[in-house]
Amino acid sequence: MPDNPASHASDGRNFSSSNLAASRIRVVESLVPVAIAEVAIQMDGVLGRLADAMFRLSDQRVLPDDAVLSFNAWNHLTKNASQLQRSVLGSLGHALLSEIAFLEMTPSSKTAQRPFDRALISPDDIEGRVLIGNFARDIELDNAAALVALNIRLGRLLHREAISIALNPFRPAVFLRAVHAAWCRFDRSGQSHLLVLRLLHARAFVDFAPLLSALNGALIARGIVPDLVPDLRATERDNGSVRPFSGRALPVVADAVLRYKLEDWFDKVADKPVATSDFNAPVCDAPSGSLTPAEQSTIALLARMWDVLLVDPMIPAHVRHLLERLRIPLLGTALVDREFFFSHACPLRRLLEQLVVSGRGLRQGAHVDDPLYRLIEAIVDRLQLDFDPCSGMTETAVADLDAYLLGEYDTESNRLQPLIDEALQQEKMQQAHELADADVARRIESGEVAGFVEVFLETQWARILTLAHSAVAHKPEALAQALQAMDELIWSVAPKVSAQERTKLVSQLPALLTRINAWLDVIKWDEVARRAFFCDLAERHVALVRLSTERSPRHRIELAVNVAQKASEHRLSKRVRAMHEPLIDRFVHDVDSIEPGSWVEFVGGNDRSGAFRLAWISPLRTRFVFSNRHSEESFVFTADEFALALREQGAHVLPHESAITRALHAALGQG
């Protein structure tokens, strides 16, 4: 990076607008894997609900043609679900990238409509468009707030007004069309194309709440509009939906409570201004009597706000030092435009907020050598020496800082990718292990499985099932085969009442033992323990084959008692495990609710002390990647480790509310 601090500030101005636009579109494109990953997690559920709906329709007698068609579709889906799942994800990726390309070429929402000629499409196509439109609107209504938030963030990223839903590449209609297109390729006959659309209603489709949360979280992690309240107010104002307050239109404000306090403050001091001499840190040395009452009140509020900012423990000392030098530019802006107090869109307020948030990542004691600090210092120098609130230099400074941080986020994403890949693999194996244990537990909880087979399933076969679950996306047949082999093994050691069952056991035993040995070769089980298990298994099979058909009443009672006792032991063990599970306290809830982009202060004598930004959360929220702009200090916490750190006060989440908003609340509360 250049050594000249001022060069950082000029890079953003010299960077061509086309390159900047391309980089912003690349950020939008980076959301595509986020969306596909969330859909992939839900695909099993979506296809299961679709299959259930098809089966229910096939069971009705009112419309026999639809029943036959639905049964054929259900049969095709259940046999080839993995093929359809891959097709859906591929179709979705192509559709999202096409929509992003259209967004890039479309300058405004007014040109977002793509008319079609009804004469060129069939009635079925028209019905399909109507169905997709109706279902999409249902999903949009259920997720209106999250969609508006995403529209605003995409608009801010692309330096436009909040884009309309028609231009949002991640709107529900795009996902519905992608799934339908995949089904059309899946069913070449074309007979079930409309049938599937009728069954893909909002409740059966992808849950958009976690999907939109992941997309918004990915943008927040890049620093794009972490606080939406002012932008939502701006959207309402642009749509003509703002209601008057005290007889005048509301400005764009930080939040409703602060708005009320600010309005009340300026109303009360309009006739009786607060004197600046009442404060220890006046913002200017204007002669007495040269200021209007409104200006005196503005300066008084600024002084109070400044006193709070300069003692805020959440702001590092070196950042407070830079803020101190922006007193005069702040005064000039606030006296010219009172929107500074009300609006996050005010350029100088945006700059102050960005300085505070960016400063959290600067390493204490070594910040002077940090390129980001040198860039911020150069910006402050320019504003301090030659500030003109009407010149647009603040907007330029904000753009320079935004461009630099956007580049840093891209670099950080590449740097953290190996750490993220490893965390994803760990989460995948953890989930596979839990699913494998659950598969075994369901089969042995009745107490009817022989004891030595129970031990084998819990220790060795669970390892096999873990591997099968971890590879289910690529080899779904492996999991089915492993589960089938386990079920056949359990059946082989169960009592055989009839001669037919014993004959079946003898005929199927060689193939079963071959399959079990093949799976055990995969996990390389110890030969000594393996031979001992097969000796016990052989004795059990011989005893079952030789056992007489009739059992004495005493023998049957003993078997029933043993089964009941083992089932009781399993239930007791399950309760004991539940008692030892960690309690769900407020710290667990904090971990469950935290979003990417949040800052966490770690304390203690280890290498992880200081402020770290939550850069990434795994899909199942079991892994959290923290970063503070230095590669050697990035690390991963599990959900349990993170909750423990919060519980033991080794970490605390820094307030997400803006520093200026906090300072204004405190300043207004002083009166």
CATH architecture of 585-654: Roll (2.30)
Adjacent-strand bridge partners of 610 = 602
d(CA 251, CA 254): 10
Name, in order, each residue with C-beta under 8 angstroms of 336's C-beta and a sequence gap of 6 or more: 389, 390
Indicate the pTM of the whole model. Answer: 0.54
Note the pLDDT of residue 462.
92
Tokens, residue 79: 């046999």
Residue 207's nearest CA partner among 42, 36, 40 is 42
Element spanning 325, H or E: none
Residue 315's nearest CA partner among 304, 302, 306, 328 is 306
Residue ranges in 462-608 assigned as alpha helix (H) = 462-470, 476-492, 499-523, 527-546, 553-580, 586-593
Helix (H, G, I), strand (E, B) or coil at 21: helix
> What DSSP string runs through 384-415?
HHS--TTTTHHHHHHHHHHHHHHHHHHHHHHH
Note the pLDDT of residue 13.
37
Note the pLDDT of residue 485.
93
Name, in order, each residue with C-beta under 8 angstroms of 27's C-beta and a sequence gap of 6 or more: 157, 219, 222, 406, 410
How much is the CA Rg of the chain, to the nearest whole Å? 32
Note the pLDDT of residue 467.
92
Adjacent-strand bridge partners of 623 = 638
**Are the beta carbons of 328 and 240 closer than 8 angstroms?**
no
Note the pLDDT of residue 194.
72
First to last CA, the chain: 48
Q: Where in the chain is the domain with CATH 2.30.30.30?
A: 585-654
Amino acid at 102: F
Q: Tell me which residue has tokens 């840093």.
A: 408
Tokens, residue 101: 């390309």
Note the pLDDT of residue 232.
44
Adjacent-strand bridge partners of 653 = 600
pLDDT one-digit tens code per residue, 492-510: 988 887 788 888 988 999 9
Tokens, residue 581: 């599970």
Name, in order, each residue with C-beta under 8 angstroms of 172's C-beta and a sequence gap of 6 or more: 135, 136, 139, 140, 143, 205, 208
Reported for 233-237, long-range contacts at CB under 8 A and 24+ positions apart, including other chains, are: 234/162, 234/345, 235/148, 235/152, 235/162
List the 599-602 sheet strands across, edge first: 635-638, 623-627, 610-617, 599-602, 651-653
Q: What is the DSSP letter of 600?
A: E
**Are the beta carbons of 322 and 382 closer than 8 angstroms?**
no
pLDDT one-digit tens code per residue, 81-100: 777 888 888 888 889 988 88
Q: What is the DSSP letter of 119?
A: G
Tokens, residue 396: 């330029």
- Residues of the chain under the 70 pLDDT cut: 1-23, 58-66, 107-128, 161-162, 189-191, 193, 201-203, 225-257, 269-291, 361, 363-368, 389-391, 447, 547-584, 604-607, 629-632, 670-671
d(CA 589, CA 454): 36
Residue 429's nearest CA partner among 471, 486, 477, 481 is 471
Burial track 417-432 (b if 16+ CB lie within 10 A, e otherwise): eebbeebbeebbebbb
